[in-house]
Amino acid sequence: MNEIIVPQLAESVTEGTVAEWLKKPGDIINKGDIVVELETDKVNVELNSDYSGVLKEVLKQSGDTVKVGEVIAVIANEAEELAEPAPKKKDAEGNSSYESEIDQGSPTQGQQRPLAFPSARKHAREKGIDLNAIPSSDPLGRVRKKDVDSYEATRQSGEKKQLEVEDIKNVTQNNTREAKRQTEGKWHQSDLNNERIERIKMSRRRQTIAKRLVEAQQTAAMLTTYNEVDMTEVMKLRNRRKDKFYEQHGVKLGFMSLFTKAVVVTLKQFPLLNAEIQEDEIILKKFYDIGVAVSTDEGLVVPVVREADRLSFAEIEKEISDLAMKARDNKLKLGDLQGGTFTITNGGVYGSLWSTPILNSPQVGILGMHKIQKRPVAIDDDKQENRPMMYIALSYDHRIIDGKEAVSFLEKVKQLLEDPEDLFLG
């Protein structure tokens, strides 16, 4: 027998959720076949089999939480699967000995041996519980480890937690009346049992996003400063060069590469925004791995453009395009998401005019782009023009970055984008 074990998924990732079994018990498996897909905090991970054989047993079902190092399935080689069961040894009294296979005590005469997973048998044996007494939640009637735990919890609670049927009815009726009274008709207890509401379990990724967004605001002293950029020159430059750029590089010239280049140049001038805090130390990073926020069906992910300071505009555009496609196809690897030093997010693609980006911990800075919209701008004392304007926002950790530095950072980004020729040629 060989086991499928949850591998080390990534640094700081200790557990995941079984998303989907791609093989079912009884299927023949070849070495290298994808057997199961796990959902982690950041991406989905496909587990390949290190063995050939037959999938003997699945120990965790879709939706179950699994930890690194945990056995989630058993693979038998075909010889083991086809072999007849070995005769059971007899003890001195003539009783069959099932060793590790059987629960505490042997079945009595005429009593069928209960179906159970090996992990459940072992668990029940350790707790001194008779498997015959445990109700199964498995569609095939097999007792699972969680069934043992559930039975034990019920047994321990005992009669002191049980109420007479009439008492339960009375309590339920009283609670229902009180709930209706307190909500003043805003919603009804009966809604819980009909189609007027729907309860949906959050995916692991959504749970993690929610947790980290709250942690970021509770941990960092987050502030946001705003400015606006006249996008006239950037748009002119892009329109002049886009056709030739595409012919030469096979990728479109977008705004993200221009913003990425502007951010990298500015980070070199303001290094604290390319840092992180570790206890009582500031870690200054001399490399520029820029995270680019991408929206997916399951939430926002932030793949990283590595060594952005060393990449050309075309290389940045290609990398962003590839990462965005991977994100939307759910093919990002954990390595694509780790180690960013600063993040850029663009709510403008969805029409956002103004927003406050939240820090991507442990980073201390994030730049928010927004929708380009024509607005009247004073050119001089006597002249106004409608210009394509974009609000930009910088959220930063005030624990190590002062307001003056944050405002100056954003002003520098603005200047580079409003006069982009040197930035582009450089």
Residue 119: closest CA among 188, 66, 183, 173: 66
Cα 196 from Cα 349, distance rounded (Å): 33
402 in active site: yes
Burial of 195 (0-12, 13-18, 19+ CB in 10 A): exposed
C-alpha dihedral over 183, 185, 186, 192, to 10 degrees? 80
**Token pair 């005429």 is at which residue?**
110
- Letter string b/e over residues 39-72, b meaning 16 or more CB atoms within 10 A of that residue's CB: bbbbbbbebebebebbbbbbbbeeeeebeeebeb
Element (H, E) at 48: strand 44-48
Say if residue 30 is exposed, middle or buried (CB neighbours under 10 Å; 0-12, 13-18, 19+): exposed
State the sign of the Cα–Cα–Cα–Cα dihedral 107, 110, 111, 112. Answer: positive
Q: Which two tokens mark 414?
A: 């603005």
DSSP conformation class of 311? S
Residue in 280, 398, 419, 422 annotated catalytic: 398
Nearest Cα residue to 208 out of 41, 83, 351 = 41
Cis peptide before 362 (omega within 30 of 0): yes
Q: Give the Cα separation of 157 and 381 in Å (integer).
A: 81
CB–CB of 305/341 below 8 Å? no
Q: Which of 27, 130, 402, 419 is catalytic?
A: 402
Q: Are 37 and 44 in contact (CB under 8 A)?
A: yes
Half-sphere exposure of 334 (CA within 13 A, CB side): 16
Q: Which residues are catalytic?
A: 398, 402
